Structure 1
Amino acid sequence: MDEIRSLKEEIRRAERNPNKTSSQRRKAYERVLQLANSTDVASKKLATDTIKDFFADFPEYQDQAINAVYDLCEDPDRDTRLAGYNAIASLSRTDGKWVVRNADVLVQLLQIDDENEVAVVKQILQQHIDLDATRTFKVLCDQCTFDPDSPHPEEAARLRNLVINFLKERYRPCVSRVVKTDEVWDVLFHGLLKVCCAVGTSSSSSSCALLGCSSSLF
């Protein structure tokens, strides 16, 4: 715990430094990233809470930071996983270029068995729709279409159903309010149209119902 207190003080000093790319801030950030590999829950929590504060200032560490957060999303400790999910949202808000990759990871996380955790993932996916509707819808729709000759068609079909159910569940409170421009509507409408054309299952019926809803907005 002394090490954590020491690092927190180092972070506070670094945050007061007006030079965002100073060696002082870099050193503090490097220590923060190392915490992601710790076995201590408090250390990992500090990492998920703090990575976002340095993320935009050190692009050379962004891949390492993103991968550290993804690893924390698979941590054995539930609270650490939840903190990891929320860290994904923070990083997407900090640097929008990661929206697509992060949204794709969140879609995969819809397969989690714990309903409470899935609810958090859905909230963060909703935040991504609010943040960048066009690119997030493209990720969602791309996950709904897959090659039937793929190595794991059953897993792909299950994921497709989860995505369609998410869109159906969130349509009125979330999706419909952001389908306000031609670009956003085009991505969602044509993405769902591809599903309707490609799939002859109940999930296709759900996607076609969503298709009708989205078309009624224009």
Structure 2
Amino acid sequence: MDKVDALYKKYDILASAGDKVSEHEKDYLDILESVKGTPSEKRLASQFIARFFKSFPHLAEKAIDAQLDLCEDADVAIRKQAIKDLPSFCKESKEYVPKIADVLAQLLLTEDHTELLVHPALAGHPGQAGRPGNAGRSLSPRYYPGKGEGS
């Protein structure tokens, strides 16, 4: 079985465990370790880490660090996937919002225009959700070519 298939198997184990998901910590740790794997493994890891984050609160720091490593990956597709998955961490654990916000602020400085496309997806992050006037608002208009300041 290749490593991608193994990751899917671990996902299936965790997803079907229901209330007993915490008994499968080894599977989640294996998913966390897969951030060091191939590009396919990294993209899956990003999604799976976020999906089961709330089930392993004692591994929260390790999970967030793994996700943030993916946000700094050399492959733009992996970075975009990892950034898209960040808001789910904020929804589950508000105490990590400042740390994740700091990382997002650094990531907003990117010069890669394809990466700029994921930034609007972050506009509805939990810290802004439900506040009047924030629906569909970008984090900062100066980072979008042709819009706002600095264009």
Pick the TM interval, shorter chain: 0.7 to 0.9
Q: Which has the higher contact order (CA 8 A, sep 6+)?
A: 2
Q: Where do 1:1-218 residues align within 5 Å?
A: 2-18=2-18, 19-22=20-23, 25-38=24-37, 40-131=38-129, 163=140, 165=142
Q: Deviations over 1:110-163 (max 9, x none)?
A: 110012312312431443443386xxxxxxxxxxxxxxxxxxxxxxxxxxxx95
Q: Deviations over 1:85-115 (max 9, x none)?
A: 0121121122222222212211111110012
Identity of aligned residues (%): 27
Q: Deviations over 1:158-179 (max 9, x none)?
A: xxxx95736xx69xxxxxxxxx
Task: Extract unaligned runs of 5+ from structure 1.
Answer: 134-161, 171-201, 204-218
Q: Counting helix residues as a fraction of each chain, which structure ranks higher?
A: 1
Q: Deviations over 1:44-70 (max 9, x none)?
A: 011001002221121221111111111
Q: Secondary structure at the match of 1:127?
A: coil
Q: CA distance change for structure 1 residues 123 and 6 in 2, over 3 Å: closer, same or farther?
A: closer
Task: Extract unaligned runs of 5+ from structure 2.
Answer: 132-138
* TM-score scaled by length of structure 2: 0.78
Instruction: Give the structure with higher Rg (CA).
Output: 1
Q: Distance in 1 between matches of 2:82 and 2:114?
A: 15
Is the Cα contact below 8 Å between 2:36 and 2:42 reproduced in 1? yes
* TM-score scaled by length of structure 1: 0.56
